[in-house]
């Protein structure tokens, strides 16, 4: 294992053409998932051949190259990251950057199905926060949305994460006609457990069976509904991601809103995404990408990799072009969310 990264004057921070510093990297470690959520995947998914995926050692080297260039927050995603074989090896290795101070935060987004199994070990690796995707607290509805998930198992994972000392944030996709009637219940439940509750608009990524326009519930409407129950006050709280937060005075808890369509968050974008095959997407809502696997494998030196990363960041666009309406039959981006990473 390499020594902890030593930041130097030669390790120039990554800054895009619009002056935004890239300090947040989201890395997908697998496109596989044990759920098939209706807004994320087709029911009959074809996954990548395992040989196309970066090895855990390559993922470590790639993440470390970004940390060397100023990335301070690293989020591990999927698919479902905890179904990747030996994934804790990657967490243990990356934790050295926390110990050295080069990295401020190592975290993950998960569907929670494996969280009870790994929560204690994740905490031992320095993971202090975790995002868990739960779109409903109704067990039957949860099964229908995920097509195969078990709500009780996920809730046990949430309890395990909290018991291990991790701060849990609940993410829910706002689904018209599906979970509209329980957003207040979800807020009350999350806040009673000391957890933030974040709502996310459906994103037009990948072909799926339901029409996305029929799923789409604008968060301005969801927020207006919440305002009938709670006194919502704007707060400056940020986690480094795209969510904008308010505080519900009645519960004292935070509610986040991620609004790629009704109010995009591009002006402050500080993040890029790498897929499990080493493809770097500079924007979630654009198709332009850079192959990092080839330079990663071309040389034991990191110079080709560093050059490829710098060239890609120089092409980062100003923003995305997400559109959802009844006349737009094709997704804004053809790849599924599980391919890019959550």
Binding-site annotation, residues for S-adenosyl-L-methionine? 39, 79, 133, 203
Q: Which residues are annotated as a binding site for GTP?
A: 26, 75, 109, 169, 271-273
Q: Which two tokens stand for residue 185?
A: 């219940």
Q: Which is it for strands 232-234 and 279-281: parallel, antiparallel or unpaired?
A: unpaired
Give Cα 21 to chain centroid, integer Å.
19
Token match 């998914």: residue?
Answer: 45
Q: Which residues are annotated as a binding site?
A: 26, 33, 37, 39-40, 75, 79, 109, 133, 169, 203, 266, 269, 271-273, 283
Spatial neighbors of 127 by CB under 8 A, at least 6 apart, are 91, 106, 107, 108, 166
Sheet strands side by side (includes 167-173): 232-234, 244-248, 254-258, 196-200, 167-173, 129-133, 105-110, 73-77, 24-28, 271-274, 279-281, 289-291
Q: Collapsing DSSP states into helix, strand and coil, what is residue 24?
A: strand
Rounded to 10°, the helix 115-124/87-100 angle is 30
Q: Which residues are annotated as a binding site for [4Fe-4S] cluster?
A: 33, 37, 40, 266, 269, 283
């Amino acid at each position: 294992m390499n020594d902890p990264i030593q930041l130097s004057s030669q390790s120039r921070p990554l800054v895009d053409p619009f002056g935004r510093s890239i300090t947040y990297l989201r890395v997908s470690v697998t496109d596989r998932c044990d759920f098939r959520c209706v807004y994320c995947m087709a029911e009959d998914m074809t996954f990548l051949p395992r040989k196309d995926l970066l090895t855990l050692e390559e993922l470590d080297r790639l993440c470390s190259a970004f940390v060397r260039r100023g990335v301070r927050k690293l989020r591990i995603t999927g698919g479902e990251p905890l179904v990747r074989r030996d994934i804790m090896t990657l967490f243990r290795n990356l934790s050295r950057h926390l110990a050295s101070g080069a990295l401020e935060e190592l975290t993950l987004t998960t569907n929670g199905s494996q969280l009870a199994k790994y929560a204690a070990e994740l905490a031992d690796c320095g993971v202090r926060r975790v995002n868990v995707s739960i779109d409903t607290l109704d067990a039957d509805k949860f099964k229908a949305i995920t097509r195969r998930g078990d709500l009780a198992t996920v809730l046990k994972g949430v309890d395990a994460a909290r018991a291990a000392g991790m701060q849990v944030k609940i993410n829910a996709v706002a689904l018209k006609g599906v979970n509209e009637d329980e957003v207040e219940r979800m807020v009350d439940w999350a806040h009673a457990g000391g957890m933030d509750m974040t709502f996310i608009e459906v994103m037009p990524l990948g072909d799926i069976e339901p029409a996305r326009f029929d799923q789409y519930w604008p968060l301005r409407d969801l927020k207006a509904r919440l305002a009938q129950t709670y006194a919502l006050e704007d707060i400056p709280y940020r986690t480094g991601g795209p969510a904008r937060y308010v505080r519900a005075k009645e519960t004292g808890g935070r509610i986040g809103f991620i609004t790629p369509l009704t109010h995009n968050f591009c002006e402050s974008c500080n993040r890029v995404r790498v897929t499990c095959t080493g493809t770097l997407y500079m924007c979630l809502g654009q198709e332009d990408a850079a192959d990092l696997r080839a330079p990663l494998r071309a040389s034991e030196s990191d110079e080709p990799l560093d050059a490829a990363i710098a060239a890609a960041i120089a092409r980062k666009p100003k923003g995305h072009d997400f559109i959802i309406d009844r006349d737009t039959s094709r997704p804004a981006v053809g790849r599924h969310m599980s391919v890019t990473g959550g």
